[in-house]
Structures are given as structure tokens and as C-alpha cells.
Amino acid sequence: MKTLVYIDHFKGEVQPASWEALGVAKNWGTVQAVVLGASGKDLVKMAYEYGADEVFFCDDATLDDYYADVFVSTLSALAAAQSPDAILLPTTTRGRELAALLAVDLNTGVLADVTGLELEGSQIVATRPIYEGKLFEKVVCHTRPQIATLRPRAFPRPVRDESRSGTPIPLEQKGESAVTVEGYAVSESSVSLTDAGVIVSGGRGVTNLAGVDEATAARKGFELIGELATLLGGAVGASRAVVDAGYIPYAHQVGQTGKTVAPDLYIACGISGAIQHISGIRGAKLVVAINKDPEAPIFKVARYGVIGDLFKVLPALTEAFRKKLGK
């Protein structure tokens, strides 16, 4: 079994789910990895350390910006030359898109956003959520190569072996882009919810503190949430209600129209648990909810619940963690 793995990065910042894909491929047999763009230089070595047998590297600064068309032409030429049995990509915005485009070029199918993979000979059997995680399907692709995108954190991170190394195999970029990159708007924040092991999330409850207006309450509420998240080495999430109200940037939104997350621990504070929010947290291992309302639907998906005011519970919780963890 020969698998090509796309290492997704933005100006050298890797999407860690790329390593998870590498780990899966390693269990299957031979692994070729591909890194596009000069800024990905350091990732070549890392790809060897995470288990790649060969790493193709397009050391070209013009690919430091993402151009879907040039990226895919480059990748499909590589795939045509190497004929892998499978191509794995992380389910990131670029990974999903490149998988889709590659499948057209290579006349094959995509197993999108998979959460489970088995191998029968060289046939991949993928498990993936449908109906927003209300059901799962097992699906196979009859054509070759089989392309799959892997949901972040659904597969274990392989062990990094710093004694492994290799030389990059040069790769030429193909084609020209019909798209011009004009620039970047200031990144709203550097949250990476999809890769977070712990997420502490706030909903409309954070706007509800007696004696102060909503905006002041929200600032205080997210400060408390931030303190707990930082203590646990996690990230801050939010419901759409507080994102729409402008209390926190969209990058933090969890749910159907935000991020689909899979942390080990998800702490929902003042979130009612609407279906569109829940659909984003089905991958969480442990859900804890803090809510004033014992009837809030979030308690239907939570393993542990506290009925109470988040402005009282959160500081106590942070303090209790600090004591227990000796921090």
C-alpha cells in the first residue's frame, strides 16, 4: 500500500491534522508526503520525523500563498507520476478543497471528513458522519487513487522520531493561477479550535450578569472563560448568539455554521444547547455544562452538569483546577 499525504500549512504554520494523516498512512505501508511552498521548508524534516519515507517539496515562494488551481495541478501531476493507492489530506479548508479538485483531475472519488478508517487489502473502508453527525456511513471508493480527508483529532498523532531524516525530493509547480491574491485581512485571532484538546465555550449566558449591561458582562464572562482555558492549555469557543452580537470574533464559533470540534474536554458555559451548536461538538470526548436552567438541552449531551450562575461557578472551578493541578 502506497499513500501520498498532503501536509497542509499556511506560511510554514502546519495544520497538525496533517501529522495524524501521516500516522494513518504509516500504519498502512509506504508513505510519501508532499509540502508545497518555500515557507514549508522546516516541515519537510518534520514529515520525515513523523514517519514519511519520501517527502516531495516544492521550494517555490510563489506557493506561499494558496492558489487552489496551481496547487491542485501540481498535486495531480505528482499523483499521476507516483500512482499511490491512496491520497490522504487533513479536513481543513484547503485540504477539503484540494481533495475535491484532485478527484476531478484523477477521475476518482473523495471520502470526505472521515472519522474512522479500516483497510481491507488495499481497499479503504471509511466511516464518516452524515446528517451532521446524527448518523454515520461506511463508504468505499471503487476507483484509484482513493482520496480521503481526515477530520482533525479523529486519529492519533504519531510519535515523532527526531532521529529520522531524509532529503527533500524537488517538485516543480504546474500551471498558472486564474486567481490573484490581493492580501489578508488581519487575522481575527489565532484560535485553532479544531486542534484544541480543551475548549471552554461561552454562550448568551455570559451577557447575563446582574447590575451591568450585556457588553460589560460579556467582557467579564469571556475573561473568566479565558482564564480557565489558559490554565488548561485550551482554547475559547462560543455559541453563535454571542458571535452574532459581536462579543467575540467568528473564528471562535462552534457549531453547524462555525467549527466542528473534537476536544477531549468541552466545557459549555451559558449555552442552551441548540441542535446547531450540538452538531459541532459531537466529537468531544467529555462534555461538561454550566447553566442556570436545569431544563437546558445542553444537559442532554453533557456527562457532568452544574446548575448555577457561570459568573460564580467559573472562578471557583478555575481555582479548584489550579489547586489540584498544582499550578
Contact residues for ligand FAD (CB under 6 A)?
203-205, 208, 239-242, 253-258, 270-272, 274, 276-277, 280, 290-293, 296, 309-311
DSSP 3-state assignment of 236?
Answer: strand
**What is d(CA 230, CA 191) in angstroms, rounded to the nearest whole number?**
12
| Binding of another protein by 320 (CB under 8 A) | yes
**How big is the CA angle at 138 (ends 133 and 141), to the nearest 5 degrees?**
125
Burial of 118 (0-12, 13-18, 19+ CB in 10 A): exposed
Q: Is 317 in the site for another protein (CB under 8 A)?
A: yes
Task: Report the residue number, 50 or 71, with the smaller CB distance to another protein.
Answer: 71
Provide the minimum distance between the beta carbon of 295 and ligand FAD in the complex, in angstroms, as a whole number. 8
The residue within the footprint of another protein, chosen from 14, 58, 103, 224 (CB under 8 A), is 103
Among another protein, ligand FAD, none, partner that 296 touches (CB below 5 to 8 angstroms by kind): ligand FAD
Shortest separation between residue 53's beta carbon and ligand FAD, angstroms? 40
Interacting partner of 317 out of another protein, ligand FAD, none (Cβ under 5 to 8 A depending on kind): another protein
Q: Is 47 or 111 the residue whose CB approaches another protein more closely?
A: 111
State the minimum distance, in angstroms, from the CB of residue 100 to ligand FAD.
22
How many other C-beta atoms are found inside a 10 Å radius of the C-beta of residue 182?
Answer: 6
Write down the least CB distance from residue 310 to ligand FAD, Å.
4
What residues from 271 to 290 belong to the interface with another protein (CB under 8 A)?
275-276, 279, 282, 285-286, 288-289
Which of 61, 81, 131, 163: binder of another protein (CB under 8 A)?
Answer: 131
271 contact, one of another protein, ligand FAD, none, CB 5-8 Å limit per kind: ligand FAD
What grid cell was written down for 240? 453563535
The pairing of strands 146-150 and 304-307 is unpaired
C-alpha cell at 83: 500512482
Residue among 123 and 256 whose Cβ is closer to ligand FAD: 256
* DSSP-derived secondary structure for 284-324: -SEEEEEES-TT-THHHH-SEEEES-HHHHHHHHHHHHHHH
| Site membership for another protein, residue 305 (CB under 8 A) | yes
DSSP of 64-130: GS--HHHHHHHHHHHHHHH--SEEEEESSHHHHHHHHHHHHHHT--EEEEESEEEEETTEEEEEEEE
Asked if residues 67 and 39 have their Cβ atoms less than 8 Å apart, the reply is no
Of 8-27, which residues contact another protein (CB under 8 A)? 10, 13, 15
